[in-house]
Amino acid sequence: MKKGVWLGIGAYAIWGLFPIYWHWLQQVPALQILAHRIVWSFVLLAVVMTIGRRWRTFRTEALKPRLLRTYFIAALLLSANWLIYVWAVNAGYVVESSLGYFINPLLSVLMGVIILHERLRRMQWAAVGLAAVGVAYLALVYGSLPWIALSLALSFGLYGLVTKQAPLNALHGLTLETAILFGPMLLYLIVADVQGQGVFLHTDSTATLLMIGAGPVTVIPLLMFASAVRSVTLSMIGILQYITPTLQFLIGLFIFKEPFTPMQLVGFGLVWLAVIIFTSESLWARRQAAQIAKRVQLLGEE
């Protein structure tokens, strides 16, 4: 359990520090960063798959038309999320990006209700409603919807919805997603280089190493997370996931010195309160369910 918790903390902390990493690549166009992230992620995953001798199992499980369609959609959603996030970080919207990942769990629950016909308890509805009020208030403050936050939350929420219904494990799933995009992204980088727009190997060595490093910094936390979820309760994962947007928010505020007005604080505060209500209610509901199950088991033993 302790190892799983630390792996979960490590994964969410790495994701929380991503704004610093992508900011170091500020001179690189966001689309090229995305392309390098996908290309080098696939290269690393291919090495892991080869060392673990998993290709045969992968081909048996993954190379099915219906599964390929599902993961093609997942790959597009994930790449859209990555592209928006990298662009937002380097355009100075780290704080608003963090809002997207605070909203994401609540939006995922709402999509579960609309698409999967799941039911919400009263306090969960209250939390979703409060978050909606917070987003509406921020829209009034900004003069428009906080589209970066909503785009990040929606793309990642839909990605989770698609992959939830797919049978592959995290390693095989991410390998297939990056494999689907590997060819187009590599071709894009080659064309950009031929046209004189490529940055790779045409800038300082630090930027080149950071572009290659986009693969490991993508894959490592995902593998850590996949290992953590096998030994950590869902309630613990539910709490740990807020490490990421909290770190992103603090980085945007204190390191990148992004503006944060009292009016924004009100909107963010409503969303944070919604998160607290939702998380607390979920923990209470799981505890109650566990106690009822234990009582039923004791009655069955008598």
Per-residue pLDDT reduced to its tens digit, 176-210: 999 999 999 999 999 999 999 988 888 888 999 99
Question: Which helix (H) or strand (E) element contains residue 93?
Answer: none
At residue 77, the pLDDT reads 94
Residue 133 identity (one-letter amino acid) = V
Q: How far apart are CA 132 and CA 290, in angstroms?
A: 31
Which pLDDT tens digit goes with each residue over 140-187? 887 778 899 999 999 988 888 888 777 888 889 899 999 999 999 999
User: What percentage of the chain's residues is helix, strand, coil (to nearest 5)?
Assistant: 80, 0, 20
Cβ-based neighbours of 290, under 8 Å, separated by 6 or more: none
Most confidently modeled range among 30-39, 51-60, 231-240, 271-280: 30-39
Q: How far apart are CA 279 and CA 188, in angstroms?
A: 42
Q: Is the dihedral of CA 103, 108, 111, 117 positive or negative?
A: negative
Q: How far apart are CA 215 and CA 239, in angstroms?
A: 27
> pLDDT band at 299, cuts 50/70/90?
low
Tokens 């928010």, residue located: 249
Helices of type H across 117-240 = 122-142, 147-164, 170-194, 205-229, 234-240
Burial class (CB in 10 A: 0-12, 13-18, 19+), 38: buried
